[in-house]
Amino acid sequence: MPPDAKPAPSDPPSAPPQDALLARLRERLGARHVLTEATDLAPHLAEARGLYRGRALAVLRPADTAEVAFAVRACAEARVPVVAQGGNTGLVGGGVPQGGIVLSLARLSRIRAVDPVGATLTVEAGAVLADVQAAAEAAGMLFPLSLAAEGSCRIGGNLATNAGGTAVLAYGNARDLVLGLEVVLADGRVWNGLKGLRKNNAGYDLKHLFVGSEGTLGIITAAVLKLYPRPASRAVGFVGLPSPRAALALLERLRRAAGPDLTAFEVMPRFGLEIVLRHVPGAQRPLASGHDTYALVEFASPRPGADMAAELEAALAASLEAGLAEDATIGASEARNAALWRLRESLPEAQSREGGSIKHDVSVPLSRLPEFLERATAACLAEMPGLRPCAFGHFGDGNIHFNLSQPPSMDRAAFLAAWARFNRIVHDIVHDLDGSIAAEHGVGLIKRDELQHYGDPVGLDLMRRLKAALDPADILNPGKVVALSDDPPPALP
């Protein structure tokens, strides 16, 4: 049964109603917070990888939740779409406006409260993730969410996309770090779910509905986040392994050795380390010789007496002795730990310097990761000999960025023209292994039709019903995640 809601047209309405809307918004927000000049709009229309270019009537910069609510209500009454933006660092086109209004949360950036006893932090959606981390640290606590864009992404966007990153293994996804939310709904009402409770079964869990909905069901304006004790000791190791299967066996062994003290298990292939050493200034070879697969592992504990270096060293020595690992090193200082992390974190940058790359952000059940890597690598090489697969990432979470670097001699544009073909090959294997074609970056525009293609039809129908129930006029970020209308998203470049 299709939802009976009528989607709003993605083209803006004719001029006079637009002018009336903008005048109304200027009156409430102040003219300087309703941007319409092309140069002001430009950064909000661009998208991190340049895959899409948006268009918008205006960019709003409300000061607080009441102004957000006013703006959404005014847009809803004028039937003009609203696309919320935090740091606009997303990788799936989820923040790209296709007409209508961009609502920037950047001015809602206050840390409202820090409660070290309750281990919570209450923050507005526009706070930069690094500032949230710093506020937690200033209170002697840890907010563990950490990802490449942390200096510019904003917490509202992290929650709206259920961000992943490098701390998921020990602390979970962004969804797992939130206790309460304040959300502006599609009709401009405010849901106050800003509770800092560890247990709350008073009805349906509404916060999980909004987290990960990419601004299509509501606009998050504030959140109560969980804090943790800060690590007192950490150790970082870099391990050379013969295969992804060996990496999985090492993960299992370290999980049993360290339990919750195993805080990261990232993997990169031989090709990945080579291009980092080639392109990243200051990068130093961590192990004497080359290996098929590298694991970056971290142990960390808040226990004051913990000696993570000793525990990691013992665990890795046992793995070497068992013939599981081929070689390993442990950072002898925090500077050296950070240098080992940089080898992993600078891989996307190195890959972009190595030519065109076609990307996949996928997950499979942990125990099927080696099979996925073997099958997907073989299938892609069969499709295009000379291709250089670079599968890396959050191995411990079952989440791999299965990226493909172009054959060195090939034309970049000709390679990128094969994007959809490789998507089909890789996503077919992910689907066959009961995995997800959108593990941590979300759906946005770039995977909306892939989700339609692979998603369980009953699940997709449920998503459409939720969208229709919460945003029947399709005001909030229309056309993203699930489409109520049949408009195709813009084609890839």
Site for a copy of itself, residues 401 to 460, rule: CB under 8 A: 434-443, 447, 451, 454-456, 458-460
Q: Which is nearer to a copy of itself, 131 or 397 (CB)?
A: 397
> In what helix (H) or strand (E) does residue 451 lie, and over which residues does it extend?
helix 448-454
- What would the two tokens of residue 1 be? 């049964």
| Of the residues 134, 257, 287, 416, which one makes contact with a copy of itself according to CB under 8 A | 257
Q: Give the one residue of 98, 301, 423, 477 binding a copy of itself; rule: CB under 8 A.
A: 301
Angle (nearest 5°) at CA 426 between 421 and 430? 145
Binders of a copy of itself among residues 7 to 46 (CB under 8 A) are none
What contacts 274, CB < 8 A, 6 or more positions away?
A: 290
Query: How far is residue 380's CA from residue 385's CA, in Å, rounded to a whole number?
Result: 8
Q: Which stretch binds a copy of itself (CB under 8 A): 36-44, 79-87, 96-104, 167-175?
A: 167-175
Task: Show the binding pattern over residues 99-138: x = contacts a copy of itself (CB under 8 A), - = does not.
Answer: ----------------xxxxxx------------------
Nearer Cβ to a copy of itself (291/448): 448
Backbone angles phi, psi at 476, to 5 degrees: -90, 115
Q: Which of 268, 216, 235 is nearest to 448 (CA)?
A: 216
Write the Ramachandran bin of 434: left for phi over 0, alpha for psi from -120 to 50, otherwise beta: left
To a copy of itself, the closest distance from the beta carbon of 293 in angstroms equals 17
Residues 64-103 interacting with a copy of itself (rule: CB under 8 A): none
Shortest Å distance, C-beta 461 to a copy of itself? 8
Q: Please tell me whether residue 317 binds a copy of itself under the rule CB under 8 A.
A: no
Is residue 246 within the footprint of a copy of itself (CB under 8 A)? no
Amino acid (1-letter code) at residue 418 = A
Nearer to a copy of itself, 128 or 174 (CB): 174
> What would the 3-class secondary structure string for 398-409 be?
CEEEEEEECCCC
Shortest distance in whole angstroms from residue 369 CB to a copy of itself: 9
254 sits in which H/E element? helix 244-258
Cα R_g (the chain), whole angstroms: 23
Q: Least separation, in Å, of the C-beta of 14 and a copy of itself?
A: 28
Query: Looking at beta carbons only, is 209 or 492 nearer to a copy of itself?
Result: 209
3-class DSSP assignment, residue 31: helix
Which of the residues 470 through 489 are near a copy of itself (CB under 8 A)?
470, 481-482
Task: Return d(Cα 490, Cα 52) in angstroms, integer.
Answer: 8
Stretch binding a copy of itself (CB under 8 A), from 43-51, 347-355, 373-381, 465-473? 465-473
Query: What are 295's strand-pairing partners?
Result: 239, 267
Q: What beta strand segments (E) does 23-107 contain?
A: 34-35, 58-60, 82-85, 101-104
Q: Decide whether 336 or 368 has the Cβ nearer to a copy of itself.
A: 368
Q: Which is nearer to a copy of itself, 45 or 246 (CB)?
A: 246
Of 16, 282, 304, 408, which lies in the binding site for a copy of itself, with binding defined by CB under 8 A?
304
Shortest separation between residue 134's beta carbon and a copy of itself, angstroms: 20
User: Residue 440: what residue type?
Assistant: E
Residue type at 439 in one-letter notation: A
Segment lying near a copy of itself (by CB under 8 A), choices 57-65, 254-262, 279-287, 345-353: 254-262
Given the complex with a copy of itself, which of 228 and 271 has the nearer CB atom? 228
Interface mask toward a copy of itself for 334-363; x: CB under 8 A: -----------------------------x
246 close to 315: Cβ distance less than 8 angstroms: no
d(CA 444, CA 196): 29
User: How do 361-363 and 399-405 pair as beta strands?
Assistant: antiparallel
Minimum distance between the CB of residue 162 and a copy of itself, rounded to whole angstroms? 5
Rank residues 131 and 440 by Cβ distance to a copy of itself and give the closer one. 440
# chain residues binding a copy of itself, by CB under 8 A:
92
**SS3 for 488?**
coil
Q: Which of 164, 269, 389, 479 contacts a copy of itself by CB under 8 A?
A: 164
Does 176 bind a copy of itself (CB under 8 A)? Our answer is yes
CA distance 244 to 180: 39
Q: Should residue 162 be labelled a site residue for a copy of itself when binding is judged by CB under 8 A?
A: yes
Alpha-helical regions (H) of 124-235: 129-138, 155-160, 168-171, 207-210
**Counting contacts by CB under 8 A, is residue 321 touching a copy of itself?**
no
H-type alpha helices, 50-197: 65-78, 129-138, 155-160, 168-171
Q: Rule CB under 8 A: which of 216-235 touch a copy of itself?
A: 217, 228-229
Candidate residues 7, 54, 398, 479; the one interacting with a copy of itself per rule CB under 8 A: 398
